Chains A and B, each alone.
Chain A
Amino acid sequence: MNADDYLTQINNITDPDQFYEDLIQAHDGLSANQSQQLNSRIILLMANQIADNRRLKELITLAKMSLDVT
């Protein structure tokens, strides 16, 4: 498995459905602004787990590429 597989090919989460449900439920009852803030904080916490600057930069680039605004 190469680095790119790990980033985009394979879902590495043990139970993707469980994570997705937890993520959506966390937003229940929040205003648009609160939702935004929640997402921002989740991203920062997750980034701290990924830790590696090179990898974080790659992820940001990948996300932005798929947004089609680059």
Chain B
Amino acid sequence: MEKLSFGQKPKVLVVGAGPIGLAAALEFSNFEIQTLVVDELSEINRASKAICWSQRSLEILNRVGLAEQFIKKGSTWKKGRVFKAEEEIYNFNLQVEAGFKAPAFINLQQYYVEQFLIDKLKEFEYPVLRRGHKVVDISLTKDNRALVQIEHDQDMYKVIADYVVAADGVRSTIRKALELEMQGNYFDEQFLIVDVKVNRSFPLERKFWFQPKFHDGQSALLHVQPDNILRIDLQLGPNMDPELELDEERVRARVNKILGSDVDYKLEWISLYSFSCKRMQRFRHGPIFFVGDAAHAVSPFGARGGNGGIQDIDNLVWKVSSVIKGKASRALLDTYDEERIPAADENLLNSARSTGFMTPKTQASVDFREAVFELSKTMPFARDFINSGRLSQPYKYIGSSLVSEDDISFCSDGILPGQSILDAPIFIGRNQTWLIDQIANAFSLVAFVDEEKTALSIPEYLDEVCGQLDLVEQYLVVTSKRLNGTSKKFLYDATGLAFERWAAYDGTIYLVRPDHHIAARWKETPTILELKQAYRKSISL
């Protein structure tokens, strides 16, 4: 399978074959960029680790052809239930609206995620995954490329890469080699993860308990994974003795109290952890880009680690690929920091707030939390203060230097410039498909047509725009009516959901980036010059 000999120089070196590094490699392959992935582990770690994958992550993976497999194997859950002691205070539904290909969330063990990504990588010509290859040092060459020392089977070799993606996790070797640090807050609260395989199926829902009787008044979280595996996450408090807490009998005693005596189970994975909310000051250092946990670390409540990391690489890969192909200037690379640092900060803020609510430290915070719980039982307004984790949302790059000002005639309805696209069911001929399936991994124009005369005139206009703008490879026309004799690029919005979600009228145009965030939009068809200006802005020209 090796297609890159040891002497060769890859365009991109990805360090770390976790979900984020592998997803980066897949996206680079999609752009036909020669990529090498190295990981010090010789095989996939069979620990479940990250399990919650958001709609946005699934939509990103959909572009590399993986969403179906994830959705099929994963446990789709929508309902979250929140308990105080043994009483259910309220529950929430994450997917109120239908009409999206990807569900709001699935749970899927990290080892499945990594396996699916690796299997997909094998379909590409370029990427090579080298396991058991450990990065020991990194430096910059005179021409600003990365010189990376790699150890394998006690041998050392060097790789010179144009770009390096450091996806080597919270204890990043690359970060240490460059003497860079993460800064933020450390929480001394310890948590215990126990994954158990049970002999029956459990309802597909997330359960969170504040101060349950079965766990000495600390908090507890229960998630359902495929293959009848349950994720139990227990708050233990500070200053726990790891040896004592990881003792199997002690763990079993805790699990028994949660599951009850009638459930047979096998311990799959036990892990004791504490966490920090911190990030690097900058994620880009010359040709080296830090992504995922290597760049920023959050608490697990909110599923913002893995899903934040997937959004990192989705933001990065099209930019680096465009520069490698000579279609954009290096200035575009600086916008990785500009767009992803605020995204990391949003994740850090939410993560720190959730942690604060779960572990009240002052008397005032204990008192207010108690008031919130009590009021919540009869007064729903108070439920919005209960924070058992604010689940990962796609970040909106509003105000980014790549994103044009909004057309005010939208009145902020639909999808704002900077926001990621919204899916909808659509028809090609008689066949139902999804909007996200039709929009390519490239700059695209999405036009909306309500009137027949626009349907006749708009393809010529769109062809001309695509011809003039280098990276705009595709256009789609969403129609409100079933139109006869039109091309494959015409998508019929039978449910009206596409028009509604995109707040579209006859002649509305959206310029969509390769990462499926909106670069610019016009309620009425813009001049080619206007479109050109927005496009140039979106690639830092």
Contact = CB atoms under 8 A, between A and B. Distances in A.
Interface of A: 7-13, 16-17, 20-21, 23-24, 27-28, 30, 32, 35, 39, 62, 66-67
Main SS at interface, chain A: helix
Interface stretch (B48-56, B164-172, B271-279, B372-380): B372-380
A42 B387 CA distance: 23
A7 B382 CA distance: 10
Given A16-B384, A17-B350, A8 B364 contact: no
Contacts of B381: 7-12
Measured as residues with beta carbon below 8 angstroms from the partner, the interface class of chain B is 20 to 34
B186 interface: no
B363 A32 contact: yes
B390 A30 contact: no
B365 interface: yes
A66 B372 CA distance: 11
Interface of B: 350, 353, 356-357, 360, 362-365, 368, 374-375, 377-385, 387, 390
A36 to B, nearest CB: 9
Contact of B364 (A13, A16, A30, A67): A30
A32 B378 CA distance: 28
Nearest to B378: A66
A66 B373 CA distance: 11
Contact of B387 (A17, A27, A28, A67): A17
B362 A27 contact: yes
Contact of B365 (A17, A27, A39): A27
B364 A24 contact: yes
A23 to B, nearest CB: 7
Contacts of A12: 381
A21 to B, nearest CB: 6
21 contacts: A7-B379, A8-B379, A11-B381, A11-B382, A13-B384, A16-B384, A17-B350, A17-B385, A17-B387, A17-B390, A20-B357, A21-B353, A24-B356, A24-B362, A24-B364, A27-B363, A28-B362, A32-B363, A35-B364, A62-B379, A67-B374
A60 B499 CA distance: 47
Contacts of B375: 66
A41 to B, nearest CB: 14
A62 B375 CA distance: 9
B379 A66 contact: yes
Contact of B378 (A8, A21, A23, A35): A8
Given A24-B356, A35-B364, A67-B374, 4 more contacts: A11-B381, A11-B385, A17-B353, A21-B356
Nearest to A21: B353
Contacts of A39: 364
A12 B383 CA distance: 12
Contacts of A62: 379
A53 B385 CA distance: 26
A30 B362 CA distance: 9
A20 B381 CA distance: 13
Nearest to B367: A35
A10 B362 contact: no
B62 to A, nearest CB: 30
A8 B365 contact: no
A17 B372 CA distance: 12
Nearest to B350: A17
Contacts of A20: 353, 357, 368, 385, 387
Contacts of B385: 11, 16-17, 20
In this complex, which of B374, B375, B381, B387 has the most chain A Cβ atoms within 10 angstroms of its Cβ?
B381
Given A8-B380, A8-B381, A17-B390, A23 B368 contact: yes
B304 to A, nearest CB: 14
In this complex, which of B364, B368, B390 has the most chain A Cβ atoms within 10 angstroms of its Cβ?
B364
